[in-house]
Structure 1
Amino acid sequence: MARNRFHRSRYGRYAGGPDPLAPPVDLREALSEIGDDVMAGVSPERAMREFLRRGGQSMRGLDAMAQEANRRRRELLRDRNLDGTFDEVRRLLDSAVLSERKQLARDLDDDARFAEMQIGSLPASTAQAVRELSDYDWRSPDARADYEKISDLLGREALEQRFAGMKEALEGATDEDRQRISEMLADLNDLLAKHNSGADTTADFEKFMERHGEFFPEDPQNTDELVDALARRSAAAQQMFNSLTPEQQAELAELSAQAFGSPELMNSLAQMDSALRAARPDLDWDSGQQFSGDQPMGLGEGAAALRDTAELEELAEQLSQGYAGAQMEDIDIDALARQLGDEAAADARTLTDLERSLRDQGFFQRAPDGSLKLSPKAMRRLGQAILRDVAAQLSSRGGDRRTDLAGRLGEPTGATREWAFGDTEPWDVTRTVTNAVLRTATESPGAVGPGVRIDVRDVEVTETEARTQAAVVLLVDTSFSMVMEGRWTPMKRTALALNQLISTRFRSDELHLIEFGRHARSTSVDELTGLEPRMEQGTNLHHALLLAHRHLRRFPNAQPVLLIVTDGEPTAHLEPDGEAFFWYPPHPQTIGLTVRELDHLSRMGTQVTFFRLGDDPGLANFIDRIARRIGGRVVAPDIDGLGAAVVGDYLRTRKTR
């Protein structure tokens, strides 16, 4: 009979890079917020960093986690103190002396009287009293047991500082257990000596772990990992000693000699600490912390608390990302999970994946000057998000929302509808015949005859969409007041939404962007998105209209559409020499030149719509009068509804073409 062979497998967290089975990171929120910051004048690199610091709706940002790490560190120092072991030793000593006094009071021999004198003359120092009683011949079994607990406690605490779980594992330890500890320390010091001299081998490490692996729950895989784990704990033990008062340091040094009843343990630990310090001099061995709380800790707990404070301090620095060359990969996810919980680790991992995805998927690119900017792909995604927001605003408005008048004598949309009087669209034969068959079967189930009778009720026509080209020019005010009044970012979002709509839905139309402040210039959507606020006065609508007129003449067969977004009266115009003339309040010559250009555009048949921002009475008076003069429209949206107003007006003018 063949013997069954079983293969044992170990499973753990995937460590070969990003999890291939993890769901893709949702970049929409990040791109939206990064885009808003870029449109407000922030560089793309800084905008991404700011998003990582703030976080999103479903994940904490780096700042929140750094604040949590700092808060946890402050709480450790504020709520704890290092008196735990000293208090416990004092309690055991008092209990032993009291039990011995009771026993001596019952004994009537002369030796008992001498022992009473010895007990009564113990020094006030706990450490000195423990040392003087090291050779005392205890008469009370209870007293002897309490005194032996002191040496056992000191030994376990000293080991707990440097080896995880020793305090509990060695409670009630036997002489055999202590011997195993001594052998482990001797072998460890030999291995460390070889490691520091460069003479250790993999076989040395494997032999050591085979004999003493039970003492190392961290499961190190090589000597370097073993040294790293031990050195961090040893450095924390030294920091804890540095954190004691001089009186406590003297007490501890004297008490430690009584660990397990002899100085052998502390000598071995001192040798180990020296070797670890030589191996890892980069660790902080000389600092300390001031604990000021009322919750006492033992030596092991104190060293663990100091390891936690050091780890929390390091995490706070990693999370701040404030140092040169900082990267999200610098954050120790395992340490974050230990200190702040699995949820914080998941948030940090998501932020890291998000940053990596933004870079790897081509949402940023280098400009010729070396700076980072949003790529065309990012601009498309950002435009899609903004257009969705605008569409949601439009859908919530009242008014005529009919879609059956999608166009006349144009391209089919793929939809059909019932024929209505006056329709000129072609019939959908399949739908018409199907309707006739179904109607006949329903109205006259028993009727049998040749052919199919078509009633006017059966006719369905194919919807078409007009494809008349339009040349659309959007003029956006970039003067100082747009920045001061918080209209800078909404203006850019409006341009992106309109660009996204035309470039994806109405590709036959042509969109041209012109920004105007003291001067005007043609721009692209990505240039406008990254445009930094300008602290210059002047609203040169005249120059912008000249550029618009020049552009519209390039499309003689297209319907000209002009959309003007502004929050101020024209206060500048272009002189013949190309310089801008600025005057406030508006100069009559500026008004005259601006009106003349609007008249020229009106004679071209341009559909003009003004989007008036703010409540400036001078602007309202100027726009209302000029709109009546050229047959234009005036829309006065609130700042949050600007995008919906512009896109809605474009769709309205397109429907009338």
Structure 2
Amino acid sequence: MLFFRYSRWDGSQAAFPLHEDDIMEQLSESLMGQGDVGMALRSLLQRGVRGRYGQRLPGVQELLQRLRQRRQEVLDRYNLSGVLGNIQQEIQEILRLEREALARRSREAQEKLQRLQQEGKGSGLEEDLLRRLQRSLEQAFRFLDSLPQEPASAIQRLKDYEFTSPEAKERFDRLLQSLREQVLQRTFQDLLEGLKSLGPQDTQRLKEFLRDLNRLLEQRRQGGQPTFSQFLERWRHLFGPQPPNSLEDLVEHLQRQAAQLESLLQSLSPQQRRQVEQVLEQALQDPELAEELARLAFNLEDLFPMGPLRREYPFQGQEPLDLPQALDVIARLQQMDEVERQLRRFQQGVPGDIDLKVVEQVLGSETAQEVAYLQRLADVLEEAGYIRRVGTRLELTPKGVRKIGQKALYEIFTYIRRDRTGQHPSRWRGGPGERTHETKPWEFGDPFDPDLLRSILNALLREGPHTPIRLHPQDFETYQTEQYVQSSTVLMIDLSLSMAMRGNFLAAKKVALALDNLIRTQFPRDRLHIVGFSTYAREVKPEKLPYLTWDEFDPYTNIQHGLMLSMKLLSRCNGTRQILLISDGEPTAHIEGGQLFLQYPPSPRTIRETLKEVKRCTSKGIIINTFMLDRNSYLMDFVDQMTRINRGRVFYTSPERLGQYMLVDYIHNRRVQIGG
């Protein structure tokens, strides 16, 4: 008995759990052409998976397209023309406050001077001081008017200026402190939690920290092995609850933070870049701190180059960004770049996790859940028993091989049901064997296996509807039966390059998988061998069949060697023995006297040696049924000669109908008449 439990959806449950059978069926489509489980899985990850209820899990390619679209939306929205706009506005506001204070002091001085003159006291010391004050105020006005428009130069000159307005002075100091904190906090964001205010005491501690870190990096540059644990022990109180695990972790974090500013500078025009660099340089104020930061930047770049982290972003929108906003947007874009790198590595099968938290921040929670599903595809197949890990390689389990064969068999018989041609030999019917659904009038000597319903209906039709019903011998109808004979088969598959170039190989491989599955499940007493041939022939074990692929750099077709190997395999078998040959070309290679002979167009010598092998098969009672996927005149002439010798049948077919011809022909020709 089945029980179902329902609960309110809280966002954590899977909207459409991936079923392992759905994944395996779609994996088999890639495996047919790839011949490698790892490559087939990467192909599946790239294109995505369809759910059994119509839902669809997007592949990496679609996720990358979403990422590119999201990045372009940001670039089309913003521009960096105002990256120093808020600083310029703040400077203008400071200058306004200072001019107002100067004007107020100038008015006050002028009023006092006028009062002194009215009172007749205009020639004293006080008047002299007031006039000096007026000249000083006029110089201050001229200084403010002469300030350059560039924020960096204005800041540099204002540092030595003695403000008249306390409010203007306070705001200028606050501007410098804000810029300084932006530089340092961007460099050490989420790292040095012990530095909050960056006041004089914290600044001194920061300089000591940078000196120690630079010494550590310089030891590494000189080939030494610095002890990170000692460095961490001294400065652990600055790192907070999650300190870096190694020097590499610390450096990676610092480089990512530094890359935000570097990318911003790369994205600006040369003039803007120069202005921003000068503003940030002026903001540091402390020469020792500036020196240690420059030293750190050199050490980091020398040991661990930024590489792709230092990237220019072509902003082309209408919405301006100030400096903090620009750095925030750059950080978002760099997160997108990192997600893209992780997805591409995942797509290529490179070990490493995808940071789902970053994916959620960049593309949303739904996409993060989809990525989590993609990461689990291989685990789902492994837990279901379809694949297993052998070292770093993935391979199919016997259950996986059976699943692929079942899918191939289902697809072929689905095609047969959709398009029956009726061009196969009729089945033989008769005495004891496996019952069919057809009946015949009973005759003396037939096994008595009556169809009671039809027998009673015959009696009613003969005597009419009354009781009791009396059955006569002529009323009985018995089930017809058919018997299977044991069969040993070699399936010869052409693996030459032409099979792939003409689109024939996948159809041949699908037929081989389906035939193997059919025999394993329906005719377990039969034996099936598979021989692949191009320049040489080789046996392909059934468990290796899903990995079979064409010989990419081998254009020759050695049917002779394939027949030799097939005869050897069938020599140990009983019952009906047959060879099913799938090819799209005439023989262009043979072995003679232990030497390989190659020629294209086909040599009469190769044709002759191949037909000799056909005669040997015929003499041993081996039937050769040929399924040809081409109709050129040379090929048809060769096949005609082969069938005249062997009396086997030939089918000229297309890749789409190959399975229909071969599987139905195999089933029908296992049945023999034994009575009736």
Normalised to the residue count of structure 2, the TM-score between the two structures is 0.66
Offset at residue 475 of structure 1 (A):
2.4
In 1, Cα distance between the equivalents of 2:372 and 2:81? Answer: 39
In 1, Cα distance between the equivalents of 2:94 and 2:455? Answer: 104
| Matched residue SS, 1:330 | coil
Deviations 1:332-351 (A, max 9, x none): 23223323444543443333
Offset at residue 646 of structure 1 (A):
1.8
Which residue does 1:247 correspond to in 2? 275
* Partner AA of 2:485 in structure 1: T
Which residue does 1:89 correspond to in 2? 87
In 1, Cα distance between the equivalents of 2:206 and 2:327? Answer: 21
Which residue does 1:533 correspond to in 2? 551
In 1, Cα distance between the equivalents of 2:38 and 2:253? Answer: 40
Listed as ranges, the matches of 1:40-189 within 5 Å are 43-53=36-46, 55-56=48-49, 58-62=56-60, 65=63, 82=80, 84-94=82-92, 110=110, 117=142, 119-127=144-152, 129=154, 132=158, 136-137=163-164, 154=179, 161=186
Answer whether contact 2:48 2:58 (CA < 8 A) is retained: yes
In 1, Cα distance between the equivalents of 2:449 and 2:556? Answer: 57
Offset at residue 628 of structure 1 (A):
5.5
Deviations 1:374-413 (A, max 9, x none): 55443323222222222222222123599x9796556657
In 1, Cα distance between the equivalents of 2:555 and 2:250? Answer: 66
* Partner AA of 1:320 in structure 2: R
Change (3 A) 1:602 1:116: same
Offset at residue 533 of structure 1 (A):
0.3
- The answer to whether the aligner puts 1:491 opposite 2:508 as a matched pair is yes
The gaps in structure 2 that reach 5 residues or longer are 1-9, 51-55, 111-133, 213-228, 267-271
Answer whether contact 2:579 2:624 (CA < 8 A) is retained: yes
Listed as ranges, the matches of 1:371-520 within 5 Å are 374-400=396-422, 408-409=430-431, 417=437, 419-421=439-441, 427=449, 432=453, 466-520=483-537
More moved, 282-291 vs 244-253: 282-291
- The answer to whether the aligner puts 1:32 opposite 2:48 as a matched pair is no
Answer whether contact 2:497 2:554 (CA < 8 A) is retained: yes
The gaps in structure 1 that reach 5 residues or longer are 1-10, 166-177, 210-219, 258-262
In 2, Cα distance between the equivalents of 1:481 and 1:275? Answer: 61
- The answer to whether the aligner puts 1:642 opposite 2:658 as a matched pair is yes
| Matched residue SS, 1:399 | coil
* Partner AA of 1:497 in structure 2: A
Listed as ranges, the matches of 1:183-582 within 5 Å are 197-199=231-233, 234-235=257-258, 239=262, 245-254=273-282, 288-294=310-316, 296-321=320-345, 327-358=350-381, 361=385, 363=387, 374-400=396-422, 408-409=430-431, 417=437, 419-421=439-441, 427=449, 432=453, 466-527=483-544, 529-530=547-548, 533=551, 535-536=553-554, 538-556=556-574, 558-575=575-592, 577-582=593-598
Larger Rg: 2
Answer whether contact 1:611 1:635 (CA < 8 A) is retained: yes
In 2, Cα distance between the equivalents of 1:499 and 1:320? Answer: 37
* Partner AA of 2:151 in structure 1: T
Number of residue equivalences: 589
Which residue does 1:619 correspond to in 2? 635
* Partner AA of 2:551 in structure 1: P
Change (3 A) 1:371 1:521: same
Change (3 A) 1:180 1:564: closer
In 2, Cα distance between the equivalents of 1:122 and 1:276? Answer: 32
Offset at residue 32 of structure 1 (A):
1.4
In 1, Cα distance between the equivalents of 2:31 and 2:535? Answer: 26
- The answer to whether the aligner puts 1:654 opposite 2:676 as a matched pair is no
* Partner AA of 1:611 in structure 2: F
In 2, Cα distance between the equivalents of 1:502 and 1:571? Answer: 32
In 2, Cα distance between the equivalents of 1:392 and 1:37? Answer: 21
Offset at residue 518 of structure 1 (A):
4.2
Answer whether contact 1:162 1:230 (CA < 8 A) is retained: no
Offset at residue 87 of structure 1 (A):
0.9
Which residue does 1:610 correspond to in 2? 626
* Partner AA of 1:533 in structure 2: D
* Partner AA of 2:149 in structure 1: A
Deviations 1:164-200 (A, max 9, x none): 99xxxxxxxxxxxx99897997999799899975457
Deviations 1:589-640 (A, max 9, x none): 6545544554565576655432112231121133245436654332111233
More moved, 647-656 vs 275-284: 275-284
Answer whether contact 2:181 2:198 (CA < 8 A) is retained: no
More moved, 503-512 vs 113-122: 113-122
In 1, Cα distance between the equivalents of 2:359 and 2:567? Answer: 60
Which residue does 2:118 correspond to in 1? none
Answer whether contact 2:500 2:550 (CA < 8 A) is retained: no
* Partner AA of 2:578 in structure 1: V
Change (3 A) 1:326 1:432: closer
* Partner AA of 2:33 in structure 1: D
Answer whether contact 1:67 1:316 (CA < 8 A) is retained: no
| Matched residue SS, 2:484 | coil
In 1, Cα distance between the equivalents of 2:209 and 2:604? Answer: 90
Which residue does 2:3 correspond to in 1? none
Change (3 A) 1:522 1:338: same
* Partner AA of 1:468 in structure 2: V
Answer whether contact 1:192 1:275 (CA < 8 A) is retained: no
Which residue does 2:224 correspond to in 1? none
Cα RMSD of the aligned pairs, angstroms, is 5.9
Change (3 A) 1:454 1:336: farther
Deviations 1:528-549 (A, max 9, x none): 6435506456544344444444
Which residue does 2:128 correspond to in 1? none
Offset at residue 317 of structure 1 (A):
3.5
